[in-house]
Structure 1
Amino acid sequence: MATATKIASCSTTACAFNDGGCTALAITVAGTDTAACGTFTTLDARSSRPAEGQVGACHRLECAHNTDLMCTNEAIEVTGDANCANYEVA
């Protein structure tokens, strides 16, 4: 069974899921021009879950770390502009 990729850090402070780290249960790496966090949202609230976010799915088929729509990296970092810093074209 595959294990989910951890989100080691997230510097997108405008995202409602970032409260000292990613608090989403799982994010989707999506985007059309860049490998962006598809779960990013700006709300007047913050999630109260622990900062233990993971990558649930990856839509970037050309990424070297994508196997069967899952990220195979041990961990990723999400940048301030909500992009996956570990995205690498195969």
Structure 2
Amino acid sequence: MTAMMEMPRVQECTAIDCAYNQHEGCHAFAITIGTEADHASCTTFFDISTKGGLDAVIAQVGACKRADCRFNAELECRAPAIRVGPSRDMADCMTYEPA
């Protein structure tokens, strides 16, 4: 059996227009960081008036497609925690750092 590592939590999310954002906390079970050309987008973000997610859950990073991030190893985030914030009409991983 393979040992599972603990995934980093979304420590803060200031993308308040996201359906999963409640009081600057992400309540999706897990998020994915995508590969937009010039930024590390949170591809779980979507703007809708209905709030979703699970009250008792603080999101974790399920997958990170930014292989060029210094915290990325084998497409998994190895940062202790991440912050997500608004960017254009989306949300981005503010913890992203080029390798």
Shorter-normalised TM-score: what interval?
Answer: over 0.9
Alignment of 1:2 onto 2:8: no
5+ residue gaps, structure 1: none
Question: Higher relative contact order by CA 8 Å / sep ≥ 6: 1 or 2?
Answer: 1
- Pick aligned residue for 1:43 from 41, 48, 52: 48
Q: Compute the TM-score of the two structures, normalised by the length of structure 1.
A: 0.93
Question: What percent identity do the matched residue pairs reach?
Answer: 38
Counterpart residue number, 2:16: 13
Contact 1:31/1:37 (8 A) holds in 2? no
The structure with the greater share of residues assigned to strand is: 2
Q: Deviations for 1:13-37, whole angstroms, at most 9, x for unmatched residues?
A: 1100101210000000003220010
Aligned length, in residue pairs: 90
RMSD, aligned α-carbons? 1.1
Segments of structure 2 that go 5 or more residues without pairing to the other structure are: none
2:21 partner SS: coil
**Moved >6 Å (runs of 4+):** none
State the structure with more CA Rg. Answer: 2
Q: TM-score, normalised by structure 2?
A: 0.85
- Distance, in Å, in 1 between the alignment partners of 2:31 and 2:49 is 19
Distance 1:43 1:11 in 2: 16
Residue pair 1:57, 1:70 contacting (<8 A) in 2 also: yes
1:85 and 1:72 map into 2 onto residues whose CA distance is 14
